[in-house]
Chains A and B, each alone.
Chain A
Amino acid sequence: MAPASPPTPIAELRRWLERVEGNGYATSEALPFAVTEIDQHLPGGGLARGHLHEVIEGGPAGEHAAVATLFAAGIAARIPGPVLWCLRGRDLFAPALARIGLHPDRVIYCETWKDRDVLPAMEEGLRCCGIAAVVGEVTRLSLTSSRRLQLCAGETGVTALLLRRWRTSDEKRFAGEPNAAATRWRVSPSPPAQGPSDHIDRQRWLVELLRVKGGEPHSWIVEACDAEGNLRLPATLADRSAATEESYRAAAG
């Protein structure tokens, strides 16, 4: 007697296990960055939706997380639907978000001053079907709370973006603690390529993928989000060979 070919219960169990363990990264719907180099590197061809992603600012004014904010806003801008933004302070300036494609009509802000308010508010947002993304500004994130966020996000398919904020170097240390985020990014401003000039064009960012489930860390130098929230490889770097880019990266890092 031939063995039954599709062991459906087993496959289902495996999928369930993957979901429970949070390893379903590669199988979920992906949001491409529209930058071939980054998309090829990420499992699934882009940023997995319905997962928790963490963005850390690497720039000099780290406590303001300005570049990380724009990076996260650019991701949220490219997903259709409303966005819930859980604030830690009053310093976020909405016109800057509108300039990179996050229209004010789409963003609902909620003033959550403390971590213990941010996380439940984020969970509430992640449970709401049809929301594009939930952005939360947090200082400290325990492994348990990050798992909770990840579970909520996985259930509804809402993307969770975590911005790390800190005021003191003590608080900055919390950003290094392990958590269940599917990817961890560090974004910092990158020095301009050419010499001094009076004209300012698009800012360059050093985007470091510090961790990704089922993938390798990597880093890229990209041009900041445009009016639609899209990143772009700088023209001067786009046609260079990989080796030069590596050396550039080494110099920058």
Chain B
Amino acid sequence: MDDAALSLGLTRGMTVTHAQSLVPDLTVLDADPAKDADALVRLGHWCTIYSPLVTPDPPDGIFIDVAGSAHLFQGEGALIEDLLHRLRRADISAKAAIADTPGCAWGVSRYGSGGIVSPGRASEAIASLPVAALRLAQSVVSSLHEVGIERVAQLASKPRASLRLRFGADVLLRFDQALGSVTEALTSLVPPEVPQRELKFAEPIGDPEDLKRVISKLCELLCPELERRGVGARRLDLVFMRVDNLAQAVRIGLSRPYREPVHLSKLLAERLVLVDPGFGIESAALTASWIEALTERQTIGRHIAAEGSDVDVGQLVDTLAVRLGQDSVYRCAPVESGLPERAVKRVPALDPAHGAAWPKHLPRPARLFSPPEKIIAIAELPDRPPRQFTWRHQRLRVIRADGPERIHGEWWISDGETNLTRDYYRVETADGARYWLFRDAPAERGGSWYLHGVGEA
């Protein structure tokens, strides 16, 4: 019953005619338990965003085991809030509780205040609840009521043997399950089928060449399945099962969805060095654990690729990323910042082109030192570029200089930069080499000299 129905005075178990007399324009729909159950399972699949262990509890409940996943949502409280908020947006009125046991959470969410029951407090939380909070059949609840047992606390004070004799074993089982003294096994939903292919071998294999063949075979088996679904793999998990029952796993990530067997098997084969076949491998399974939609595309032949920007570098990027690490392949993009060391950020190599570049009128060196190297410089006048400087024990005479280009620290990023001012000079020495120097304070405040880069600045 949602809040709107309650405010109209409707209750559960009311007859249709009674309800219609209260609300004249009430719309009555026939119950369809099968459809409800389907919808509950669908909702259960949606709930897997919170935890992989989700059990629908027909007719109207869902158990989510958040034991290992609440931290991903900044705690249990935030998780419940997030869950209820999302359900409300989908026009589903729901109650939720988190407790040590499924039984306790069931009772607290339906008959209690909901929210979080702290660990070890299950018995206190359910003590004041009506006995119906123990997931008992209606007939059992009414026979308990007949003898005056209304609350769970009353039940707890009664001798167990007589309870069992009079009301059946169910009462004690549910009571124990709610307190956690009897564990309750929940059958969680199996996630929607992921594309997977498996090979079993008559004889254990271990030769790297054999493993490579297995990889290409698995890729050839998996890719038609991906194609049938209209998806490509973003992540592949390859698990070799050894004869001694140890699993050897290889996981590769892809920058774009792919389903070309040759490319995928090449990437997997790169990681084969991590696999220790031991006494032999008896089965291998390849799973596309992360898939994304991939529409049909015409493949470009190896020797007829067109020149220009529409060249497919995805396979190259993937190969290098698998070999050198995901973070080692990247592109640079400009950041609007005056400080040269902050002007460049890394973006994934296959990000769409931004078109943005750094301002062209600001000269910058080809090689930038991080951190800047301290130099000893001699200037004729405080606010003039140096005439001579010593860098790495080398005395260099400045012939020509240009500057200063004044750069201020970014106080909105760091308090330490409030007073940061740098005067940059491009200098050319007698042999024509160019350096990029700066003084870390205006001339009147003194300041020391640094060399920040070399190359035409």
- Whether A61 contacts B313 by the Cβ 8 Å rule is no
Q: Which residues of A contact B366 (CB under 8 A)?
A: 64, 66-67, 69-70, 73, 92-93, 96-97
- Interface residues of A: mostly helix, strand, loop or mixed? mixed
1/0 contact string of B291-312 vs chain A (CB within 8 Å): 0000000001011011111011
| Interface-facing stretch out of B19-27, B114-122, B206-214, B352-360 | B352-360
| Interface-facing stretch out of A40-48, A188-196, A232-240 | A188-196
Q: Which of B297-348 contact A (CB under 8 A)?
A: 300, 302-303, 305-309, 311-313, 315-317, 319-320, 323-325, 327-334, 340, 343-344
Which residue in B313, B329, B456 is a CB contact (below 8 Å) of A96? B456
Q: Which of A147-195 contact B (CB under 8 A)?
A: 156, 188-192
Smallest CB-CB separation from A252: which chain B residue?
B432
Interface check A136, CB cutoff 8 A: no
Which of A95, A97, A132 has the most chain B CB atoms closer than 10 A to its own CB? A95
The answer to whether residues A67 and B456 also contact, given A121-B323, A191-B431 and a CB cut-off of 8 A, is yes
- Whether B357 contacts A104 by the Cβ 8 Å rule is yes
Q: Which residues of A contact B333 (CB under 8 A)?
A: 104
Q: Chain A nearest CB: distance from B302 CB in Å?
A: 6
1/0 contact string of A88-100 vs chain B (CB within 8 Å): 0011111111110
Interface check B402, CB cutoff 8 A: yes
- Whether A93 contacts B328 by the Cβ 8 Å rule is no
Q: Which residues of A contact B400 (CB under 8 A)?
A: 192, 196-200
| Interface-facing stretch out of A30-38, A123-131, A207-215 | A123-131
Interface check B363, CB cutoff 8 A: yes
A82 to B317, CA, bound (A): 12
Interface check A103, CB cutoff 8 A: yes
Q: Which residues of A contact B411 (CB under 8 A)?
A: none
Interface check B454, CB cutoff 8 A: yes
- Whether A131 contacts B313 by the Cβ 8 Å rule is yes
Q: Which of A41-78 contact B (CB under 8 A)?
A: 59-61, 64-67, 69-70, 73
How many B residues touch the partner, as a band? 35 or more
- Whether B363 contacts A99 by the Cβ 8 Å rule is yes
A67 to B325, CA, bound (A): 30
The answer to whether residues A110 and B328 also contact, given A66-B454, A81-B309 and a CB cut-off of 8 A, is yes
Which residue in B306, B327, B367 is a CB contact (below 8 Å) of A69? B367
Q: Which residues of B contact A131 (CB under 8 A)?
A: 311, 313, 316
Interface check B282, CB cutoff 8 A: no
Which residue in B330, B343, B344, B354 is a CB contact (below 8 Å) of A105? B354
Q: Chain A nearest CB: distance from B130 CB in Å?
A: 65
Smallest CB-CB separation from A199: which chain B residue?
B402
Which residue in A61, A106, A107, A197 is a CB contact (below 8 Å) of B433? A61
Q: Which residues of B contact A191 (CB under 8 A)?
A: 399, 430-432
Q: Which residues of A contact B428 (CB under 8 A)?
A: 192, 200, 203
Smallest CB-CB separation from A205: which chain B residue?
B432
Which residue in B303, B320, B455, B456 is a CB contact (below 8 Å) of A121? B320
Q: Which residues of A contact B349 (CB under 8 A)?
A: 108
Name B residues whose Cβ lies closer than 8 Å to a Cβ of A: 300, 302-303, 305-309, 311-313, 315-317, 319-320, 323-325, 327-334, 340, 343-344, 349, 353-358, 360, 362-370, 394, 396, 399-402, 426, 428-434, 453-457
Not counting A93-B364, A111-B327, a sample of 7 additional A-B residue pairs whose C-beta atoms are within 8 angstroms of each other reads: A59-B432, A95-B358, A108-B316, A108-B331, A129-B303, A130-B307, A203-B432
8 A-B pairs, CB-CB below 8 angstroms? A94-B332, A96-B366, A104-B332, A108-B329, A108-B331, A130-B307, A131-B316, A198-B402
